[in-house]
Chains A and B, each alone.
Chain A
Amino acid sequence: EIVLTQSPTTMTASPGEKVTITCRASSSVSYMHWYQQKPGASPKPWIYETSKLASGVPDRFSGSGSGTSYSLTINNMEAEDAATYYCQQWNYPSLTFGSGTKLEIK
C-alpha cells in the first residue's frame, strides 16, 4: 500500500497570504489528486491529475509535483478557502488518501 503523508496537519493563514500544502508518497505515483472538504459536506474534487483545476475552482489554486512529492498552493488566501484538503493517489491496485490538512483563516 502506498502511504501518503500530508504536511502540515493544521495551519492558519491570513487573507492574502500564500499557502502551500505538501503530500509525500511512500512510492512513486503517476498523478496526485486533491479534494476540499468543509464540515458536514462531502469531499469536493479540487485538483486532479496533479495540476488540473476541477470545475469552479478559483485560479488562485494550483497543483504541482511528480514522483513522490506533490503540492497544492493557494495564492492570496481567502476566507472561503478555509477547509480540510486531502490528497489521493491511485496506482492500481493501491488507492489511498492522505490524512488531511486543516487550513484555517486568521
Chain B
Amino acid sequence: QVQLQQSGAELVKPGTSVKLSCKASGYTFTSNHMNWIKQTTGQGLEWIGIINPGSGGTSYNVKFKGKATLTVDKSSSTAFMQLSSLTPEDSAVYYCARRELTWFAYWGQGTLVTVSS
C-alpha cells in the first residue's frame, strides 16, 4: 500500500534552515508528482509547491519562492523540502502529499516545525 513517511519534529532557531524528508513506498516513486503543504492554526492549509520526481522539475507558490526548496533522491524514493531563513511564522505542520491529477490521495503524517530561540 502507498505510504508517505515523514521525518520527525524539529525545533530550530530563527535564521537557520531545516530539511524535511518524505519517504515514499508502495508505488513507483517517479510516477506521481509530490507536493508540500503547510498547515497553521491561523492560515489553514497552504500549498507550497510541487516536484516531479522523474525530472526534478519544480513549481512553487509565489508566497514560498525563496523560502522552500524541493528536491528528491530517486535512489531512496525520498522527497525533501528545505526551508531557509526561518522565522516564527514558519512554525507549522508540514505535509507531503502525492498528486492525483488535481487532488491529493495520499498524505504523510506531517512534520511539526517549531522556530524558537
Contact A54 B105 (CB under 8 A): yes
Q: A86-B45, A99-B44 are in contact. Are A44 and B103 (CB under 8 A)?
A: no
A97 with B47: in contact, given A31-B102, A45-B103 (CB under 8 Å)? yes
Contact call A45/B105, Cβ cutoff below 8 A: yes
Q: Binary interface profile of A, 8-26, with partner B (CB < 8 Å = 1, else 0)?
A: 0000000000000000000
Measured CA separation A3–B102 after assembly (Å): 16
Answer whether residue B46 sits at the interface, using C-beta atoms and an 8 A cutoff: yes
The SS class assigned to the A binding surface is strand
Interface residues on B, range: 10 to 19
Nearest to B49 among chain A residues (CB) is A95
CB contact list, B42-60 vs A, under 8 A: 44-47, 59
B46 touches A97 (CB 8 A): yes
Is B61 at the interface (CB under 8 A from chain A)? Answer: yes
Check B103 against A42 for contact (C-beta < 8 Å): no
Residues of A near B100 (CB, < 8 A) are 48
Number of A interface residues in the complex (CB < 8 A): 22
Q: Who on chain A is nearest to B46 by CB?
A: A97
- Taking CB as reference atom, which chain A residue is nearest B93? A42
| Chain A contact residues, CB within 8 Å of chain B | 30-31, 33, 35, 42-45, 48-49, 54, 86, 88-90, 93, 95-100
- With A31-B102, A33-B102, A86-B44 given, name 20 new contacts (CB 8 A): A42-B108, A42-B110, A43-B45, A43-B95, A43-B104, A43-B107, A45-B104, A48-B103, A49-B101, A49-B103, A54-B105, A88-B104, A89-B102, A90-B102, A95-B61, A96-B47, A97-B44, A97-B45, A97-B46, A100-B45
